[in-house]
Amino acid sequence: MSGKRIGVFVCHCGNNIAGTVDVAQVASVMAAEDGVVCTSDHAYMCSDPGQNAVIAAIKENALDGVVVSCCSPNLHERTFRENAKAAGLNAFDCEIANIREQCAWVHRDPGEATEKAIRISRVAVRRLGRSRPLEPIDTGVTRRVLVVGAGIAGIQASLDLAAAGLDVLLVERQATIGGRMMGLSETFPTLDCSQCVLSPRMVEVARHPRITLMVSSEVEKVSGYVGNFQVKIRRQAAFVDPDLCKLCDDCAQVCPVVVPNEYELGLSARRAIFMPYPQAIPATYTLDESSCLGLNPVVCGKCRDVCEAGAITYDRKPETVVEQVGAVVVATGFDLYGQEQLGEYGLGAIEDVLDGLQYERLCSASGPTKGKILRPSDHRAPKDVVFIQCVGSRDPARHCAWCSKICCMYTAKHAKLFKHQVPDGRAYVFYIDIRSGGKGYEEFVQGVMEEDEVMYLRGRVSRVYQDGDKVRVFGTDTLSGQNVEIEADLVVLALAMQPSAGTAAIAKTLKISRDKDGFLAEAHPKLRPVESVTAGVFLAGTAQGPKDIPETVAQASAAAAKAIGLLSQPRLSHAPTVAQVRSRLCTGCRMCVDTCPYDAIRLVQGKAVVTDVLCEGCGSCVASCLRAAIQVKNSSPLQMKEMIEAVLRV
C-alpha cells in the first residue's frame, strides 16, 4: 500500500442503498483501513451539498485520493472525477465503489449487503492506493458526420447537422430516401398527409450543399475512433444517370420484365427499370440488375435504345469509397414481424389479409389503387373489415415480448380512414389493451370509437381462414365472455415492429450493442438515451426501439445535437486507462492483436504497439498475453493482487 491519504464517502442514495445497506457501518469500518484518513456518509453524494462536502474534505485533510461508494460508475463516475479535479486532485485519483447495482439492489439481507458493501469499498481503496495520476489523451477531430439510414430519423438528423455547419454523409441502402414514413397515407392524430410533410424535407436534403447523399449504398467497414472514423462504403452500380434522366417513362414502357413492386409491398407490379414512386429522391429511374434479363452480356437493351437523353449505361460497376468522419448517427429503421411465423392469421396465404403497411398503400393517393380501399382479390370496396392488433407483439411465449407502441394508434387511424370512404361499412377492432400515450392520442381513439362508430372487441383472434369470397375470423370478446365470428371482406393485421434486416450487421460493424430484442442499445436509458456504448456513435429512431413519428424526430434531433456538441470542440480527449506494452517481454506472438475487439494493437518490428486513442481498456489483451507483457494503466497485476486479497479478507 502506498502512502496516499484517502477519503471514503458513502452515499445513501435515498433508500436505494440505505434501505438495504447500513451506510453508517460501512463508513465506520472503512475508517480503520490503511491509508484512509477520513470517512463520511451523505443522503445524496451527487447533490450539490454532497459534492461540496467532498471538496471540503479533500482540502481540510490534504487527501491524495477519493473513494465514493455509491451507484454505477456508468452513471456518475465523470461527476465525481470532475468534482475531485475541482478540489485540486488528478481526476483519476477518484474511484467509484458500486454498492448500489452490485450490492444493495441484488440483496435482501441487510447483514449480507452491508458486509459486501464493505468489501467492495475496501477493494476500491486498495486499487486507488496503487493508482497513478493520468492525463486524458488528446486527439484531433474531423467535423463531418456519417448518417446511416435516410428515413425520417436520418433526414431530420442530417438537416440539423447541416444547419449547424457540419458536413454530412447520408447513406441509404434503398434507391430512394424517405423510409417507412414515405409509404404512409396519413399520420395520426392530425391525419395530415405523410408525403406532404416529408417530401419538402427530402428535397431539402437532396439540395443542401453540406449534405452528400449516397443511395443504393451500404457501410461495409468502420475503423478509427471518435472524432476520426474511417468509413468504407460500397455503392451499387448506377445504370441510370440522375443528372441526365428526364423522367419520361419511355424505358419502363418498353421493358418486358414484370416483377412485384417492393415499394408497394407486392400490391402492384413494376418493370425491371422503374421509378419507386413519384416523389422519389433522387428523382430518377432505377435499373434493378437482379430482375433485368441480363447486362453481362446484354440480353435485351430496349430501355437504352429508347432513352433519347442517353441516361442509361450498362457497363457501370459497383464502387467502394472511403470517407473520413468524426461521428456516426445510426437510423436504420424497422421491419415488420415476418409473415412466415403467423400462419394462423393467413398472412401471405389469403389474398385479402394484409399487414398495416400494405393497408397504408391502399389508402395512399399515390398507392396502387390511387387511395381507394379495395380488396386485392377482386378490387371491390369491402363492407366488413376486421383489424387485429398485437399480431406478434406482447407474446413472449411464441413471438415478440415487447409492445410495438404505435399499433393502437395506427389501427384507430386505419378504421377511421375506412369509415370515411365507406360510411355504411362495418369496422371491427380486436385488441388486448388500448395504449394511446401521446398528445391528442387518447382523444383520437375515443373519437374513432364514438364518432366513427367502430366496434372494439377486447380479445384475441384464434383463427383466420378463407371461406368462399369471404375471410372468416374467429375470436373472443373477453368483456362479454362470448365467442365472436365475423365474415370479413378484408382483414388488416397490426404486426410487431422489429429491427430492420441490416441492424445486426451495422451493429457489428460499428461495435455497438443490441438489447435482448435485437434493437440497438443505448448507453443509459435515462441519462444517455441517444448514445451508444461506442464513443461518437449515436442512435436515432426505430433502430433503437418502437416509437412514433414525433418521438422519432425528437430523438433524431437529440442525436444530432449530441454529435454537434462533440464535434464543436477544438480537440477531443480519450480516457487514459489504456493498455501499455512492456516491449522487453513481448515476443510478437500476435495473440493480443487477434484478441483486441477494437483493433487497437498492431505489430511494429516484431513488437506489439497500442494505438492509445483506439484502446478502450477492456483488458482482453492482458488475459491473452502469456508473458504478462501487456497491462492496462491503473489495473496492474499488483493492484489486482491487493484487490483480491482485500475482498477475501474476513
**With DSSP H G I counted as helix, E B as strand and the rest as coil, what are the percentages for the chain, rounded to 5?**
30, 25, 45
Using alpha carbons only, what angle is made at residue 511 by residues 557 and 624, rounded to the nearest 5 degrees?
150
For range 326-343, the mean pLDDT: 92
Nearest to 597 by CA among 504, 524, 512, 505: 512
Q: What is the mean pLDDT of residues 99-119?
A: 96
Quickly state the pLDDT bin for 344 (edges 50, 70, 90): confident
Judged by DSSP in three states, 319 sits in strand
Give the Cα separation of 139 and 147 in Å (integer).
22
Is 579 domain-assigned?
yes
- Whole-number pLDDT of residue 1: 53
Contact 459, 475 (CB under 8 A): yes
Query: What's the burial of 518, exposed, middle or buried (CB within 10 Å: 0-12/13-18/19+)?
Result: middle
> Which residues, listed in sequence order, are joined to residue 428 by a DSSP beta bridge?
386, 455
139: how many CB neighbours lie within 10 A of its CB?
Answer: 15
- Whether 350 and 431 share a structural domain: yes
pLDDT of 406 strictly over 80: yes
Q: Name every residue whose Cβ is closer than 8 Å to that of residue 222 and which is 6 or more positions away in sequence.
A: 229, 230, 231, 232, 328, 509, 510
pLDDT of 2 > 70? The answer is no
Residue 596, domain CATH: 3.30.70.20
| 145: number of Cβ within 10 Å | 30
DSSP string, 83-122: HHHHTTS-GGGEEEEE-TTTTGGG---HHHHHHHHHHHHH
The pLDDT tens digits of the residues spanning 537-590 come to 999 999 999 999 999 999 999 999 999 999 999 999 888 999 999 999 999 999
Q: Which residues contact 36 (CB under 8 A, 6 or more apart)?
A: 6, 7, 8, 30, 125
Q: CA-to-CA distance for 192 and 199, rounded, in angstroms? A: 13
In the listed set 83, 99, 134, which residue is the last one of a domain according to the structure? 134
Q: What local confidence, expressed as pLDDT, does residue 649 receive?
A: 83
Together in a domain, 124 and 66: yes
Residue count of the chain: 650
Query: Is residue 598 pLDDT above 90, yes or no?
Result: no
Domains contained in the chain, number: 5
Helices (H) and strands (E) in the chain, counts: 16, 34
Q: If DSSP codes are grouped into helix, strand and coil, which group holds residue 202? A: helix
Residue 647 lies in a domain: no
Q: Is the pLDDT of residue 450 over 80?
A: yes
494 and 398: one domain?
Answer: yes
Q: What is the CATH number of the domain that holds 519?
A: 3.50.50.60
How far apart are the C-alpha atoms of 39 and 31, rounded to whole Å? 6
Residues 6+ apart with CB under 8 A from 23: 10, 11, 12, 17, 41
Same domain, 231 and 254: no
pLDDT value of residue 278: 86
Copy the grid coordinates of residue 421: 370512404
Instruction: State phi, psi for 238 to the nearest 5 degrees.
Output: -100, 95
Residues 359 and 477 in one domain: yes
| Residue 648, domain member (yes or no) | no
Q: Do 471 and 343 sit in the same domain of this protein?
A: yes
Which string of b and e fits 305-326 if b means at least 16 CB within 10 Å?
A: eebeeebbebebeeeeeebebb
Classified as helix, coil or strand, 630 is strand
**Domain co-membership, 270 together with 201:** no
When the pLDDT of each residue in the chain is averaged and rounded to a whole number, the result is 94
Which of these ranges, 74-78, 328-332, 469-473, 583-587, has the smallest mean pLDDT?
Answer: 74-78
What is the domain range of residue 213? 144-236+321-333+500-567
Q: What is the mean pLDDT of residues 469-478?
A: 94
pLDDT digits (tens, 9 = 90+) for 359-373: 999 999 989 999 999
Grid look-up 415488420 returns 336
- For residues 120 and 160, state if they share a domain: no
pLDDT tens digits, one per residue of 239-273 = 999 999 999 999 999 999 999 999 999 999 999 99
Residues 174 and 224 in one domain: yes
Distance, CA of 269 to CA of 13 (rounded, Å): 61
Strands (E), 155-216: 167-171, 186-187, 192-193, 211-214
Are residues 329 and 343 located together in one domain of the fold?
A: no
Does residue 378 sit in the same domain as residue 474? yes
The model's confidence at residue 19, banded by pLDDT at 50, 70 and 90, is very high
Domain edge (last residue) among 71, 99, 134: 134
pLDDT score of 75: 86
* Element spanning 145, H or E: strand 144-148
Considering 283, 317, 351, which residue would you say is the last residue of a domain?
Answer: 317
Asked if the structure places residue 450 within a domain, the reply is: yes
Average pLDDT on 315-324 reads: 95
pLDDT of residue 339: 78
Q: Do 411 and 534 fall within a single domain?
A: no
Asked if the structure places residue 644 within a domain, the reply is: no
Angle between helices 356-363 and 407-421 (to 10 degrees): 30
Asked whether residue 242 is domain-assigned, the answer is no
